[in-house]
Structures are given as structure tokens and as C-alpha cells.
Structure 1
Amino acid sequence: MLKQCLTAALLMFALASSAMAQDNSTFRVTLLGTGTPNPNPDRFGPSTLVQAGNLNLLFDAGRGNTIRLWQLKVPLGSLDEVFLTHYHSDHVNGLADLWMTGWLPPVYAGRKQPFNITGPTGLQALTDGLVSAFENNAKVRIADEKLPPEANRFNVTEFDEQVGGVVYEKNGVRVTAFSNLHGDLIHPSVGYRIDYQGKSVVISGDTRKSKTVVEHSRGVDLLIHEVAAARPELLEALQRLQPIMNHHTTPQEAGEVFSEARPKMAAFTHFVLLANKDYPPMTPAETETATRETYDGPLAMGQDLMAFDLSGDKVRVIPWNSDR
């Protein structure tokens, strides 16, 4: 039995090491979660992994990001930086899990250094609150399991959303933050652009149609954008849903963004597809059809664990295959 356990552990370690193998040519983006607050097992909370060179960068930490990372055999402790777009619960409710579970010693975790995190104003308050909430857990694990205290600490980089600019630069990777338009009362809220070896990807964050998203996305290799859709009959029957739509981008509006920015590849994430018992959600196919009213370029309907390889001349879309 012990021999079997050791063999399994060594196999997991080999798989993890293989998945982590990255070189200077690596530029890969994986949609870890493409969903919303809805507890949908097919679409986990918003989260995107960007692997550039030897760096692993995570953008937003929605529900289930730890599970998706380990499905990729990316140890939680191997993340170099986490970036948050804003502080709605569905974008941060997986942060505590990522922070605390990543501190554990098994192969799926193993963080030995402080948890590096970057975000707009309010991030320090958020991380201070987590430290307070998990104080007893930390004390027990340090005393009982001898976990390294320094790896339990947050290393916070906080910036003003109205200023934005370059918020991270390391090993040839540059991350630029910019404000977007999530709503009049929803501040701070930002998107990010990641540049590496002449290639670029933009993550819109939650937003209505935004000029700043277009400006930072012109000619990028990959533009990952949120989308919200609802059947007209549903909005007419439940007018209380309209404010939700007002905080997001319709397929037609997203198509206009794509047409103006002209990325090599556009992709949807964070599918806000409203519904009730009488009116089902719009399907991805219907969402794509609506987008095609205003956009005729390359478009990927994002799914959890769908990946994009930016290392070549063209953006290669890699659907998830659990056997790989």
C-alpha cells in the first residue's frame, strides 16, 4: 500500500513537472473559469492563467480556480503573481482557497514565498481582512505542521485605477492596467494588457462597451472579453434584470469592440447569460450569431480550460481535452 502511494505521488510530481516545463518562447493563455456567480460546474468563476516565458500569472481568482489549475497540473505554489480586476465576489471568492491551499506542502501546492498580488485601490483592505479571518488557521498550521510563516504573507501592489499604467514588469513580461466601464457605482474596475516578445493579450475585465478597452486592444494578438445576453422577452418580464445588463457588454456591442480593435483572435469569457424557468439562457451559438451582426473576424466561444497559444505567427486555439 505504501509503495502504491509513493508511486502515485511520484507520478503526480512527474506530471506536474512536465506541465510546468516552460521556456522563453512560451506564451499561452488558458481560461480557467468562464462563468458568473452561478454555481455552474461547467463554468467556474472568472479566472485566466497567462504563462509567458517562465512566469505564471493569474488574472482574477473566481470559484474553483485551484481545481482548474491542478487539472492543468500547474501547482498553486508556482504562481508568480495574481492580478485582480475588481472586487465583485465572483472574481475574488476563490482567493482564500488559492492563498491557503497553495501554502500546503503537497505537490499540488508548495508555495515557499509570499503570495504576490496586484490590484486597484482596496486590495490591501481585502488581503488584511483575509489575514484576520484565517489568523487561527495560520497559527495552528505554523505550530503544528511547521509551514513557513513567510509564505502565508501577502506581498501587495496596489494602484489607482484612474492612473493605471505599467503595474508589473519582469523577465520581459509587461502588464499594463487601464480603467474600464463596469458601472457608475462600481469602482475600482480595470482591465489588463500583457505584452511579451512582441505579442500581446488584453483581458477586458467586467465592463460595458469601453473606449479604453478598444484603445489598449488595437491589433493585439488576443482580446478576451466578457459578454452578457438575455432574451428580450425575459428583460420585458423581469425589468429588475436590466441593471445587470447595463453593467456588461451585449454580443452586438462586443462585436463592435472587436471590429474597432481588430485583434488577431477575439474570445468570450464570463458568460452572463440571464434566464428563468420560462425563458432559457441564450446558447453560445445564439450568442455568436448575435456577435456576427457587428463582427466578421476570428472568434472563440470560450470554455473552461480552453487555451490559446500565442507563440507562433497565428493564435492557435486549443480546446480542452481531459486526456492530454
Structure 2
Amino acid sequence: VAARVSLNSIKQVFITHLHVDHYGSLPYLWMFGTWAGGWHENLTIHGPSGRTSDYGTKTMVEGMKMMTGWHRDAFSVFPVGKGWDIIVNEFDFRDNGGVVYEKNGVKVIHWQRSHAKDGASAYRLDWNGMCFVWTGDGRPSKLDLKYAKGCDLYVTELQPELMEINSGVQGVPPFLARYTVDTHHTPAYASGYLANQIKPRMFMTTHMNFDPFLNEETVAEVRQHWKGPYHFGAPDGIVVNMTKELVWVRE
């Protein structure tokens, strides 16, 4: 949307995992993308399986359909067409390097991430000799090094080592923040280490606080290992433009 892609033309959605903060906008995209004129084509949702079918992307989508029953009935006075007929491409999360999507020269593969439980994935998109990696959430992983090596734009998550300050600002108990990072996320130092191994043309991080009291320390931790081009994946609506010669960022 920030890149001026209209809501009604977004028809391919790639979900990394089923924590609510990573698919919470999906009902809005589905309902209002259809209402805004997206009734000529199905919405396709790509996402990982779970250890059991109850925890896979298909089950989440069925639950979303139930949750939006009142809304869909209220909006039934508008054109719908194919807009509400979701296609779910649920892939096996264990199939590291498997192809999720391949069309019009665009190829997307996936691999496992270590994040809470089975069923979290990262993506790599290749097109026209360029590559973009979006890891989603997770602990540092050798699989990231394998599948993201040499990509042009590498986007991963990080958490700075500032548990006490976070606690004072956000109210999160330090022990809880420490446990969560150590079992679910990538410390900022580690993100810089990964970037230095992968060697992207641009390194970008998300899933972090974007606040003056944290930003300088976050950069310092990343720079411990990574000396190349780096940018916050923030604020909301940030856009990366890339050609084979140049990479630049717009807010």
C-alpha cells in the first residue's frame, strides 16, 4: 500500500507464522479489498502447515471466515464476485527450499524458522536477477545463511539488549522480555552477524521498537558485526526501491 499498490489489487499474501501480530490485518485486506473493487480475482493466502492440521494456515482461514460472518452478511449488498472465495496454499513447513509460488518470472521459496513452535517460515523472492528475503520472526539460524546468501535485500527481525529500559518504558517485566528474546527472537548483535555472513546490498530490520531511547543502541549493536548499508524497517509505510545498480529507501 505504501508503494501505491491499491488494496483491491493485492491478491497474493504470504504469511510467515500465525502469531496474531503477523496476520492481524488480513481480515481488513480481505473484506475491504473486495469491497473496493477486488471482486474479479480470488485472494490467495500462502502459509505454512502446523505440526497438526489444527495449527495450519487453512484452519486459521476457516476461523477468519467464521469471525467475519456478520461483516460479510452486512456487505452482501455490494458486489462480491470472486473476492470472498479465498484460495489457501498451505505448504509443508518442513520442506526447506520448497517452491511456494512461481509465475511470470517470480519465484518464492520457503524454509523453517525457530520461533515458538513448528509452523514458522521465511521467504525468498527471486525476480529479474534480484533477490529479496523476508525471514519473519525467529532465532538465528544456519538455514537463513543457506537460503539468503548473497541476496540483494535482507530483512529480518531483531531485539536490542535493553531489557531494563524496555521494562521502564513499556512495563514488561525484564525476566519476561529476556525469556521471550532467548526463546523466540534474534538479538541485535546476532542480526548483524547474520547480515555479515549473507552480504546483502541492503540490510533492514523489523519487529522492534522504533523509539529515540532505543534507536542509537540498536544501531550500535548491529554495527558490532555489520558495516554495510543498514536501515530500520520503520516507520510504518517505509518503501525500498531496488534496481540492479541502486537500492534506496523512501518514507
| Common fold by TM > 0.5 | yes
Contact 2:39 2:81 in 1 (8 A): no
Partners of 1:202 and 1:116 lie apart in 2 by: 20
Match of 2:130 in 1: 199
Partners of 2:41 and 2:111 lie apart in 1 by: 28
Identity %, equivalent residues: 28
Give the aligned CA root-mean-square deviation in angstroms. 2.1
Partners of 2:163 and 2:67 lie apart in 1 by: 43
The residue type equivalent to 1:172 in the other structure is G
Alignment pair present for 1:163 and 2:91: no
Equivalent of 2:15, from 84, 87, 99?
A: 84
Match of 1:213 in 2: 144
Return closer, same or farther for 1:72/1:167 CA change in 2, 3 Å cut-off: closer
The residue type equivalent to 1:181 in the other structure is S
Match of 2:68 in 1: 134
**Per-residue deviation, residues 28-52 of structure 1 (Å, max 9, x unmatched):** xxxxxxxxxxxxxxxxxxxxxxxxx
Partners of 2:237 and 2:179 lie apart in 1 by: 30
Equivalent of 1:283, from 214, 231, 240?
A: 214
Equivalent residues in 2 for 1:290-305, closer than 5 Å: 290-303=221-234, 304-305=236-237
Partners of 1:156 and 1:216 lie apart in 2 by: 24
Deviation of residue 234 (structure 1)?
5.0
Deviation of residue 111 (structure 1)?
3.8
Q: Secondary structure at the match of 1:256?
A: helix
Q: Secondary structure at the match of 1:158?
A: strand
Equivalent residues in 2 for 1:247-286, closer than 5 Å: 247-272=184-209, 282-286=213-217
Return closer, same or farther for 1:230/1:282 CA change in 2, 3 Å cut-off: farther
- Return the TM-score normalized by structure 1: 0.68
Equivalent of 2:159, from 218, 224, 228?
A: 228
**Per-residue deviation, residues 64-107 of structure 1 (Å, max 9, x unmatched):** xxxxx2x54322111130000000010011111111111113xx
Match of 1:152 in 2: 84
Return closer, same or farther for 1:111/1:228 CA change in 2, 3 Å cut-off: farther
**Per-residue deviation, residues 230-253 of structure 1 (Å, max 9, x unmatched):** 425458972122121111111110
Match of 2:44 in 1: 116
Contact 1:229 1:245 in 2 (8 A): no
Contact 1:77 1:112 in 2 (8 A): no
The residue type equivalent to 2:41 in the other structure is Q
Alignment pair present for 1:241 and 2:177: yes
Partners of 2:17 and 2:112 lie apart in 1 by: 10
Matched length? 237
**Per-residue deviation, residues 141-200 of structure 1 (Å, max 9, x unmatched):** 33x23x2242111111001111141110010000001111113xx221010000001110
Deviation of residue 272 (structure 1)?
4.9
Select between 132-141 and 241-250 the one with higher mean Cα deviation. Answer: 132-141
Q: Secondary structure at the match of 2:227?
A: coil
Return closer, same or farther for 1:73/1:281 CA change in 2, 3 Å cut-off: closer
Query: Which segments of 5 or more consecutive residues in structure 1 lack a partner in the other structure?
Result: 1-68, 274-279
Query: Which segments of 5 or more consecutive residues in structure 2 lack a partner in the other structure?
Result: 50-55, 168-172
Partners of 1:86 and 1:124 lie apart in 2 by: 12
Q: Secondary structure at the match of 1:150?
A: coil
Deviation of residue 285 (structure 1)?
1.9
Q: Secondary structure at the match of 1:103?
A: helix
Return closer, same or farther for 1:132/1:287 CA change in 2, 3 Å cut-off: same
Partners of 1:224 and 1:97 lie apart in 2 by: 24
